[in-house]
Chains A and B, each alone.
Chain A
Amino acid sequence: MQLTNRKVVVSNKEQSLAERMYLPAIAKGMMITASHLFKKSPTINYPDVKRPIATVYRGQHVLKRDDNGAERCTSCGMCAVACPAEAITMTSGERKKGEEHLYREEKYAATYEIDMLRCIFCGLCEEACPKEAIFLTDRLVDAQFERKDFIYGKDKLVEKMDARIDVSKRQTPEVLAFKKVEGLKHNELFDAKKLNKGHKH
Chain B
Amino acid sequence: MTAFIIYKAIMCVGIFVLLLASAAYATLWERKFAAFLQDRKGPSRAGWGGLLQPVADGVKMFMKEEIIPNVSNRALFILGPSLFMVTAVITSAVVPWAKPVIIGGQTYDLQITDINIGVIYLLGVASIGVYGIMIGGWSSNNKFALLGAVRASSQMISYEIPMGIALIALIISSGGSLSLKTIVEGQDAGLANIVWQPLGFLIFFICALAETNRAPFDLPECETELVGGYHTEYSSMKLGLYLFAEYINMFISSAVIATLYFGGYNFPFAHEIYAKLGLAEGSAMVSLIGFGVLLAKIFGFICLFMWIRWTLPRFRYDQLMNLGWKTLLPLSLFNLAATVVIEFFRGNIHF
Contact = CB atoms under 8 A, between A and B. Distances in A.
Interface of A: 26, 29-30, 32-34, 36-37, 39-43, 45
B311 A41 contact: no
A43 B40 contact: yes
A77 B182 CA distance: 91
Of A30, A39, A42, the most chain B CB neighbours within 10 A belong to A30
Given A26-B312, A29-B312, A37-B36, A43 B41 contact: yes
Which 6 residue pairs across A and B have the least CB separation, nearest first? A33-B311, A43-B41, A33-B37, A30-B311, A41-B39, A37-B36
A36 B37 contact: yes
A33 B41 contact: no
A36 B33 CA distance: 11
Contact of B311 (A29, A39, A40, A43): A29
Nearest to A39: B39
A42 B37 contact: no
B40 A33 contact: no
Contacts of B308: 30
Interface size class of B (residues with CB under 8 A): 10 to 19
Nearest to B33: A37
Nearest to A38: B36
Q: Taking chain B's interface residues, is the majority helix, strand, or loop, or is none over half, making it mixed? A: loop
Given A30-B311, A40-B39, 8 more contacts: A26-B312, A30-B307, A36-B37, A37-B36, A41-B35, A41-B40, A41-B41, A45-B44
A29 B215 CA distance: 15
A185 B323 CA distance: 75
Contact of A36 (B39, B41, B312): B39
Given A29-B312, A45-B44, A36 B38 contact: yes
A36 B38 CA distance: 7
Given A29-B312, A43-B41, A45-B41, A36 B307 contact: no
A34 B312 contact: no
Contacts of B311: 26, 29-30, 32-33
A41 B32 CA distance: 12
B176 to A, nearest CB: 30
B310 A42 contact: no
24 contacts: A26-B311, A26-B312, A29-B312, A30-B307, A33-B37, A33-B307, A33-B310, A33-B311, A34-B37, A34-B307, A36-B36, A36-B37, A36-B38, A36-B39, A37-B37, A40-B39, A41-B35, A41-B36, A41-B40, A41-B41, A42-B39, A43-B39, A45-B41, A45-B44
Contacts of B39: 36, 39-43
A39 B308 CA distance: 19
Interface in B19-67: 35-41, 44
B328 to A, nearest CB: 12
Contacts of A36: 36-39
Nearest to A21: B327
A26 to B, nearest CB: 7
A19 to B, nearest CB: 14
Of B35, B36, B308, the most chain A CB neighbours within 10 A belong to B36
Interface string B311-334: 110000000000000000000000
Contacts of B40: 41, 43
Nearest to A23: B202
A165 B331 CA distance: 74
Contacts of B35: 41
Nearest to A43: B41
A72 to B, nearest CB: 42
A55 B145 CA distance: 55
A43 B40 CA distance: 6
Interface string B286-314: 00000000000000000000011011100
Contacts of B307: 30, 33-34
A47 to B, nearest CB: 9
A40 B311 CA distance: 19
Interface string B104-130: 000000000000000000000000000
A182 to B, nearest CB: 55
A37 to B, nearest CB: 5
B31 to A, nearest CB: 14
B215 to A, nearest CB: 12
